[in-house]
């Protein structure tokens, strides 16, 4: 375990759906500015675990601690306020807004003005707007979306949408960003770019937890990897350790034996 105090601690988290135990007594920690990936075969409970960390689901038992304080069971927008922000699988963006509008609105958490301030256009609200615009432009440049700035989100190709999704997450100024399959459906070049982008996100001081299928990308990018199978954690370690782990190889054998990059 790393020296720094963990920013995220998942402690004995279990989630049942009726008779099905989707996530069973899973524990692990994430240190600040690490990139941790959660992998596992289909149906292993990755997505459920992801939602549990993002407070989109409540655990049946166990808890999730962020900087030592419990966040499991809170509303998603409260968790987001504390700095735990998720992105979505596929292409969840505000489709009828432009790229820039998407990222500006995602700054909502940073606003100092309240609803009344927005309505009457108080000095704070106007200062917010100006600041959000500048920050949005910076994020757009960081993500390489400068040429798409004023395009409607619904007109963007897949890869750019994924980048926009990350941009929306970044705009909230998160301490911990949860990425839901950031490399899914991407070709080799797109994945390489996206890997660089996620490294860049960490470079901005953000801790990253991602759920992913793309094993080569996971092995390339992660500081640590947690492997789930049938809802249970079967392994945890550095990418090199995971690649040698017998349980992991067994879990993937038969179906995707080449998938972990052996």
Partner 1 sequence: MSQLQNLRLARASVFLLIVFVIVPWAIAAGGRNDLYYTLTSVALLSIASAGVWLTFYIGRINIGQGAYALMGGYVSAILVVQYGVSFWLTLPLAGLFCAAISVLIGLPILRLRGVYFAMVTLVLTEVTRLSALALPITNGAKGMVSIPLPGPIGFGGFDLVPGFATLKTPNMAFYYLSMLLMCLCFAAMYRLVHSRIGRLCQSLQQNEELASSIGVNITLLRIIAYAISSFLGGLSGAIFVGIAQSIYPSSFTVNDSVNFMLNCFLGGLGYVFGPILGTFVLYFGWDLLFQAGPYQLLIFSSLLILFMLVLPNGLLSLNPFARRKA
In the complex, the residues that contact partner 1 under the rule CB under 8 A are 54, 56, 75-77, 80-81, 85-88, 92-97, 101, 104-106, 108-109, 111, 115, 118-119, 121, 125, 129, 168-169, 171-172
The token pair that represents 251 in the structure block: 């879990």
Rounded to 5 degrees, φ, ψ at 232 are -110, 150
Residues whose CB is less than 8 angstroms from the CB of residue 193 and which lie 6 or more positions away in sequence, other chains included: 144, 159
Q: Judged by CB, which is closer to partner 1: 168, or 195?
A: 168
Q: Judged by CB, which is closer to partner 1: 139, or 235?
A: 139
DSSP state, 102? H
CA atoms within a 13 Å half-sphere pointing along the CA-CB vector of 84: 28
Q: Judged by CB, which is closer to partner 1: 25, or 129?
A: 129
Q: Judged by CB, which is closer to partner 1: 101, or 137?
A: 101
CB of 195 to partner 1, least distance (A): 23
Instruction: For strands 232-237 and 6-17, give the pairing.
Output: unpaired
CB of 207 to partner 1, least distance (A): 17
C-beta of residue 213 within 8 angstroms of C-beta of residue 46: no
Give the whole-angstrom CA distance, residue 37 versus residue 208: 8
C-beta of residue 113 within 8 angstroms of C-beta of residue 204: no
CB of 206 to partner 1, least distance (A): 15
Helix axes 123-142, 158-171, angle to 10 degrees: 140
Q: Judged by CB, which is closer to partner 1: 138, or 256?
A: 138
CB of 153 to partner 1, least distance (A): 9
CB of 27 to partner 1, least distance (A): 25
CB of 225 to partner 1, least distance (A): 24
Q: Judged by CB, which is closer to partner 1: 40, or 167?
A: 167
Q: Which H or E run contains 233?
A: strand 232-237
């Amino acid at each position: 375990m790393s020296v720094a105090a963990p920013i995220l601690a998942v402690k004995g988290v279990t989630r049942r759906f009726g008779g099905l135990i989707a996530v069973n007594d899973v524990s692990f920690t994430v240190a600040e500015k690490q990139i941790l990936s959660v992998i596992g075969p289909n149906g292993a409970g990755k997505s459920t675990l992801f939602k549990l960390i993002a407070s989109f689901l409540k655990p049946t038992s166990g808890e999730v601690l962020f900087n030592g304080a419990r966040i499991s069971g809170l509303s998603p927008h409260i968790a987001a306020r504390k700095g735990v922000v998720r992105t979505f699988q596929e292409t969840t963006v505000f489709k009828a807004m432009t790229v820039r509008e998407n990222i500006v609105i995602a700054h909502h958490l940073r606003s100092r003005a309240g609803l009344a301030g927005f309505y009457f256009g108080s000095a704070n609200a106007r200062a917010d707007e100006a600041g959000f615009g500048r920050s949005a432009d910076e994020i757009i440049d960081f993500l390489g979306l400068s040429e798409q700035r004023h395009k409607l989100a619904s007109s963007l190709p897949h890869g750019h949408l994924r980048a926009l999704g990350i941009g929306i997450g970044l705009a909230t100024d998160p301490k911990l960003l949860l990425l839901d399959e950031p490399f899914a459906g991407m070709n080799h070049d797109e994945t390489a770019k996206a890997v660089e982008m996620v490294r860049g996100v960490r470079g901005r001081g953000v801790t990253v937890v991602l759920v992913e299928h793309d094993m080569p990308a996971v092995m390339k990018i992660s500081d640590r990897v947690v492997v789930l199978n049938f809802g249970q954690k079967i392994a945890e370690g550095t990418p090199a350790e995971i690649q040698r782990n017998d349980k992991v190889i067994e879990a993937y054998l038969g179906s995707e034996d080449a998938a972990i990059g052996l």
